[in-house]
A = this chain, B = another copy of it.
Amino acid sequence: MIKIVIIGSGNVATHLIKTFNRSNKVKVIQSFNRKGLSVAGIPATDNYEALETADLYLIAVSDDAISEVSAKLPFKGRLVAHTSGSVALEELSPENRRGVFYPLQSFSRDKDVDFSKIPLCIEAENDRDREILEYVARSISQRVHPVNSEQRRSLHLAAVFVNNFVNHLYAIGDDICRKNDLPFDLLKPLIAETAKKIEHMPPVEAQTGPARRNDQNTLQKHLNQLNLHPTYKKIYELLTKSIQEQQYDSI
């Protein structure tokens, strides 16, 4: 049974602890956080010196605290991994064996998570440690992907486009509705269908709309409608241009 200590008590730490608790291949033996609060019944500490001996230390704290926390660990040569998509493996202290255990999903505090479908992207400095991380990952998910640093950084960047930026376009849709006394609910079936379509079709093939058809008449009408909102207008122009730059002949 692989023993894990989880550092942090935020979103990711809490979901991981709850999920590992249900696995019989790994065991979370301790939780560290600054308030020493127990998460999901796991013994907790707020004292680095009181950290137990474990096979893996998972640092699930804010990106900018990862380096500092890893430097405070009072031991050497053990396997320590962070859970961030954007932080370099090298930001972990070289005193320990370093790794990454990045769940490619967006977590909400109050919403239960089914880890079995979440891609876990793992990275390590040697095969042996990669095998440990892979074993731990497979204990909770069917989708485990060893990646290198460059690939993980790219995934995190892609995630910003398909999650943060997509959500912002939903917010613009919501804003346009509000300003015209329309319920945002009207757009929800379209949003759901748009997301569903790419499950079985590459997004470039699924592309439709005035930009794709180069329907100048509609494009011009839409730009006029956005005259009062210069930022939305720029987004409309830029995304239209980008759609038109795509290589459709390669389909």
Contact = CB atoms under 8 A, between A and B. Distances in A.
A239 B168 contact: yes
A215 B239 CA distance: 24
A242 B238 contact: no
A60 to B, nearest CB: 16
A161 B167 CA distance: 11
Contacts of A207: 164, 167-168, 171
Contacts of A199: 188, 192
B225 A154 contact: yes
A241 B168 CA distance: 11
Interface stretch (A36-44, A123-131, A178-186): A178-186
A66 to B, nearest CB: 12
B176 A161 contact: yes
A237 to B, nearest CB: 10
Contact of A174 (B193, B202, B208): B202
Interface string A182-226: 101111111111110111001110111111100101100110011
Given A193-B105, A239-B168, A242-B168, A160 B204 contact: no
Interface in A56-94: 63-64, 86
- The binding surface of chain A is classed by DSSP as helix
B166 A169 contact: yes
A162 B154 contact: no
Contacts of A222: 86, 157, 160
Contacts of A226: 157
Interface stretch (A12-20, A24-32, A143-151): A143-151
A243 B215 CA distance: 28
A104 B171 contact: no
Interface of A: 63-64, 86, 104-106, 108, 117-119, 121, 143, 145, 147, 150-151, 153-155, 157-174, 176-177, 179-182, 184-195, 197-199, 202-204, 206-212, 215, 217-218, 221-222, 225-226, 231-232, 234-236, 238-239, 241-243, 245-246
20 contacts: A86-B221, A105-B193, A106-B197, A117-B189, A119-B185, A119-B189, A151-B180, A154-B180, A155-B177, A160-B209, A160-B210, A160-B236, A162-B173, A162-B187, A165-B239, A167-B194, A168-B239, A174-B203, A188-B198, A231-B242
3 A-B pairs with least C-beta separation:
A164-B209, A195-B195, A170-B203
